[in-house]
Structure formats: C-alpha cells, structure tokens
Structure 1
C-alpha cells in the first residue's frame, strides 16, 4: 500500500497531527537532552498544563516516540526518554525551532502589516 498524507483516509494523517503539535516539538526537544521526569518536563516546557503534558506524553508513548519507565519506589518514580524512532525527529524539530527563532521578527512585522490593513 502506498501511503499518502494528502488522502483524508490515510493513517499518516494521525502521525502528522502528532508531530505537528507544538507541545510535541517542545517535549521532544526537551527529551533530546536526556531522560526526564514529569516535573522536569513541566518546568522546562513553559506554559504547558499538567493535563496537556500527560496527554501529549501518553500519545507520544502510544506512537512509539517516547518510552516511560516506572520505578517501584515510594512515591513512584517515572522517567521519560526518546525511543530510537523518537530520536529521528530531533533534527527535524531542531530545524523548525531554529527557523522560528530566526524568523520571528519578520513574522511579527508581517502580522502587524496585515492587521493594519483593516481588511482582515
């Protein structure tokens, strides 16, 4: 079978939904530096709620991008790491983060110009 992300019925759309999410980009970037605990991720990824971090991590684990290890301690210790598959996204996301930081001034100017036209 030939996969085609432009076909509305293709399951690659689900993968695109996952990897096009800003929280996914930021979490993968954080985990690129090494294994992290939940609280560390929440502190590092500014603005993410506990609920959204939990949902995103579960989705990333389900898709085979992140692995979760639970240690039988009191309280339980949980750590998250990138899988080999998850590591394949690091350079892609690094490029997106770099582009965002390098071009934000132009984007903000374009938005300001667009908004000032009054025909939006």
Structure 2
C-alpha cells in the first residue's frame, strides 16, 4: 500500500502544481499556441533514424546480445548525428565499462546474450 499511497500523493501534488502554473501563465501572459515555435527546427530525418535505430537495436539485441547491440547502436547513432570520432570512441568505452560494472558486477543482472551466443 505504501507505493500506491506515494503515487497518489505525487499525483495530487503534481496536479496542484500544474493548475497553479497554468493559472499564473493565464494571468501574466495569456495562453497561446506555441507549438509552431517549438517545432520550427524539427528535423524529421533525425527523428526517423532514431526511431528506426531503436527498432533495430531491439532486433539486434535479440540476435547478438546486449553488449554488441548497445555498442552498434551508440556508434551508429552518434555517427549519424555527426559527433566527432574521438567523442564516439570515448562514449562507447565509458558506457560499456559503466554498464558492465553496474549491471554485471554490482547488481548481477543477467543481460540478454542473444541467439548467436546461446
């Protein structure tokens, strides 16, 4: 019952905060549609690539395992977003070491090994 009470309390507090913020916004500047301004520089190619990359990541994780899929996803995504190569190498090495240390060594969580390594 504790988690449900905590969730209900957070729901009430967040709703009260949202109503307060909307009330202040309405009093100060008025409410207007700013979505065209927010999405003015939206890049559909990047959005589509990242969405397809997530699907490919899940498929590759099923076939090749968590570590290989994660490294491929990171390298592919960062290369597509034109991140400098040394940043890509540094990110992949640090993330792989961090994931290994936290999930495998510390938490001892079994990660997907994939069909290739079963």
Q: TM-score range by the shorter chain?
A: under 0.3
TM-score (norm 1): 0.24
User: Of Structure 1 and Structure 2, which has the larger fraction of its residues in strand?
Assistant: 1
Q: Which structure: larger Rg? A: 2
Larger relative contact order (Cα-Cα within 8 Å, sequence gap ≥ 6)? 2
TM-score (norm 2): 0.24
